[in-house]
Amino acid sequence: MAVPSHVTVPRWLALAIIPALAAVGFFGAWAADAAANSGEVARNVSLAGDTVGGLGTEDLTTRVEELAAGFSRTPIVVETSEGDIELTAADLGVSIDVPATVEEARRAGRDGSLLTKPFSWFGSLFNERSADVVLAFDPDVARSGLDEVATVRTEPTEPYLDGSSGTLQVVAGAPGQVLDVEGVVAALPDAMARGETPVRVQAAWTDLPPTYSAQDFEPLIAEAARVVDSSAQLKVNEYTTTLPSEVAATWFSSRYGDDGPELVVDEAKAFSDLETLMQPGNENGGGDLIYEVVDGEVSFSASDAGSVCCASDAARVFFEGIDAGLGHDVPIVLPTRVATPDEVKAEAEALGIVEEISTFTTNHKCCQSRVTNIQRMADIVRGAIIRPGETFSLNGYVGRRTRENGFVPGGFIQNGVLTSDIGGGVSQFATTLFNAAFFGGLDFAEYQAHSIYFSRYPLGREATVSFPKPDLKITNNTPYGVLIWPTYTDTSITVTFYSTKIMDVEQTNQTLTYQGQCKRYTTERTRTYLDGRVVVDTVGALYRPGEGRNCDGSPSDPSVTTTTHDDSTTTTEAGGGETTTTVAEGSTTTAAETTTTTTTVETSSTTTTTAAETTTTTSGG
């Protein structure tokens, strides 16, 4: 059988065979290329803009490590309202994960199924493919990096113990502000993913609480309260007094040590306060100031040195006494020292008593028994000093008016009727003193006007006294000491104040109102300080319509009589203090409230009255 020399393939079959042959060639080329490059990165793969296609694993790893080293220096800016904080990726725990990035590069162009891989390979012949850089983030490193920079905006204020107001109290602390570290840590991954250079992260501020609370001070308060609440009795020479809690509280404060708050005791202030508190116990003159005024010129000297409080170890002795349980049944005896005249002279110079600041004179008839009382009171008061901030009590300084103390019977007012008693007439001294204080610009802590007007006194501007009430109390509201210097003639009494002049004083107005038939005068005072300040206040007086008459016109009790006894404990307005029958009819003016006594006649007041202090007084002088 003969064989044909050639075979003719049908056209349709040829057309079918060509694609098949092409496919075989395509897949064969892919397979051959894949086999030849099975250990390398696929063709045309880039990593962070750098071509790594065709690299083997070792070279690729080296390339990624170099990339990671450069990335560690990538700047990261933490933006705050107080300014930017500049750090690096390494500072904040952001790094390139080298093994994971190597794996990403090796997978690039080789992903997919058996059917899709050849086509992906074919695309790589013409197009570049980018492999992802894999980042790692360590939050703990980020927190540590943020803590190492100045992340505190303001430090917190810690609480502290403060007794300076006279009461032990804990002043609360306040939070500071610190960078919100957790907020920055949470925001970092998203900020890195944005691919910006430098990386920017917005940061806020959060509260930084104090380390300690008020409860941490409870042991300190309990320790200080042993002193502050002790009401300890203190003794120097023959003088005993009680430690005021408001004074003791100022000795205590706190500080912070290694173990937290600690109690601080200001022994220097304790010593100074004890010296001041125990001054009345100084003996043998104690170096007291002795003033003399001659022709208006003030001079001073000091008495012989005496036993005075306190010796340098007084504070230590006091605190040891508290620890030993003293101060209640047994007073704590403070050690004394010898005071030198030079010390007292230095104190006098600091008081600044150098010139006349006011003077006032009232007149009287000669040679009456009441004049003896006026002059006796002047002799006692002459040389009294009102220190800055102190209040001078006329009754407290002079004491009860008795025959043994040099006083004689004189006129006074009882229940609106003129009569006589031991010490009567001393209200003229009180009125003169009141007016010197008025024009000296001093304040009145307590006063009471006569209930009957006497023409020898300034209308509406006067004061009466008895013992123990009513009293005349004058407060020194200046930074200098005030020396009271009374002088007299047979027909007049003068009180002059010496100090350092800081103001001009004048009466600027007076008004009259009626309370029934009684007349109330309100007198205005204007104090113009040398620094330009102007202070206006008033004093007042309420007068009966006449002797023995009440404001409603009815007679005051005519049945009241006066019987004098030296040992009597009742009081009169005129200063006698020795009448056995008294009727309350006045009002004592103090600096807190204005009330009147429970009688039909009310005396004047400009500021306040404590009714409880005036229910056993009579009016006169």
The more confident residue out of 368 and 1 is 368
Residues 253, 384, single domain; the answer is no
The answer to whether residues 434 and 577 belong to one domain is yes
Q: Is 389 exposed, middle or buried (0-12, 13-18, 19+ CB in 10 A)?
A: exposed
Which residue in 469, 477, 468 sits closest to 444, CA to CA? 477
- Residue 277 contacts residue 229 (beta carbons within 8 Å): no
Same domain, 335 and 374: no
Q: For 422, phi and psi rounded to 5 degrees? A: -60, 130
Question: Where residue 235 sits, what CATH number does that domain have?
Answer: 3.10.20
Collapse the DSSP code of 342 into the 3-class scheme (helix H, G, I; strand E, B; otherwise coil) and give the result.
helix
397 close to 369: Cβ distance less than 8 angstroms:
no
- Let me know whether 580 and 519 are in one domain: yes
Average pLDDT over residues 202-212: 90
Query: Amino acid identity, residue 390?
Result: E
> Is 41 within a domain?
no
152 part of a folded domain: no
Give the pLDDT of residue 315.
95
**pLDDT of res. 421:** 63
Output the pLDDT for position 170.
95
Pick the residue with more confidence: 448 or 132?
448
pLDDT one-digit tens code per residue, 488-507? 999 999 999 999 999 999 99
Return the higher-pLDDT residue of 319 and 193: 319
Q: Where are the alpha helices (DSSP H) in 301-418?
A: 314-323, 341-351, 369-381, 394-398
> Which region, left, alpha or beta, applies to residue 206 given φ > 0 means left and ψ of -120 to 50 means alpha?
beta
Same domain, 457 and 561: yes
- pLDDT exceeds cutoff 50 at 155: yes
**442 and 574 within one domain:** yes
Rounded percentage of the chain residues whose pLDDT exceeds 70: 75
Q: For 22-80, how does the pLDDT look when each residue is reduced to its tens digit (9 = 90+)?
A: 444 444 444 445 544 445 777 778 887 788 877 888 888 888 888 888 888 889 898 88
Predicted local confidence at residue 500, as pLDDT: 96
| CA–CA separation, 485 and 382 (whole Å) | 5
Q: How confident is the model at residue 109 (pLDDT cuts 50, 70, 90)?
A: low
- pLDDT at residue 125, rounded to an integer: 47
Q: Are residues 302 and 389 in the same domain?
A: no
Lowest mean per-residue pLDDT among 267-271, 472-476, 568-572: 568-572
Q: What is the CA radius of gyration of the chain?
A: 49
- Residue ending a domain, among 348, 377, 401, is 348
Question: Residues 423-450: pLDDT tens digits?
Answer: 578 899 999 999 999 999 999 999 999 9
The pLDDT assigned to 613 comes to 31
Question: What pLDDT does 306 receive?
Answer: 63
Number of domains comprising the chain: 2
Q: Pick the more confident residue, 576 or 439.
A: 439
DSSP assignment, residue 103? H
Average pLDDT, rounded, for the chain: 79
Q: Look up the pTM and report it.
A: 0.48
Residue 18: is its pLDDT beyond 90? no
For the range 26-29, what are the long-range contacts, defined as Cβ-Cβ under 8 Å and sequence gap of 24 or more? Answer: 26/118, 26/122, 27/118
Count CB neighbours of 353 within 10 A: 23
Q: Do 590 and 554 fall within a single domain? A: yes
Q: Which residues contact 99 (CB under 8 A, 6 or more apart)?
A: none
In a domain, 205, yes or no: no
Choosing from 300, 317, 348, the residue where a domain stops is 348
Q: Which helix (H) or strand (E) holds 519?
A: strand 518-529
In a domain, 522, yes or no: yes
* Residue 157 belongs to a domain: no
What mean pLDDT do residues 275-296 have? 76
What is the per-residue pLDDT for 234?
96
In the numeric block, which tokens belong to residue 330? 């047994």
Please say if the pLDDT value at position 110 is more than 80. no
Residue 118 domain-assigned (yes or no): no
Whether the Cβ atoms of residue 393 and residue 447 lie closer than 8 Å to each other: no
For residue 344, what pLDDT band results from cuts at 50, 70 and 90? low
48: amino acid identity, one letter: A
Q: Residues 581-605: what's their mean pLDDT? A: 34
Domain boundary among the residues 301, 316, 348 is at: 348
Predicted confidence at residue 23, as pLDDT, reads: 45
**Hey, which bits of 530-587 come out as E strands?**
534-543
User: Residues 6 or more apart from 102 whose CB is under 8 A from it?
Assistant: 57, 60, 61, 64
Give domain status of residue 336, yes or no: yes
581 CB burial (10 A radius; 0-12, 13-18, 19+)? middle
424 or 241, higher pLDDT = 241
Mapped onto helix, strand or coil, the DSSP state of residue 124 is helix
Characterize the bridge pairing of strands 417-422 and 355-363: unpaired
Q: Which residues sit opposite 385 in a β-bridge?
A: 483
- 423 with 509, same domain? yes
* Cα gap 98→504, rounded to integer Å: 90
pLDDT band at 539 (very low <50, low <70, confident <90, very high): very high
Assess if residue 455 is contained within a domain.
yes
- pLDDT score at 507: 97
- Least confident range from 201-205, 374-378, 573-577: namely 573-577
Q: Could you tell me the pLDDT band of residue 302, with boundaries at 50, 70 and 90?
A: low
Residues 305 and 378 in one domain: no
In which domain, by residue range, is 223 found? Answer: 215-348
Q: Are residues 567 and 430 in the same domain?
A: yes
Q: What is the pLDDT of residue 266?
A: 96
- Domain check: are 272 and 383 in the same one? no
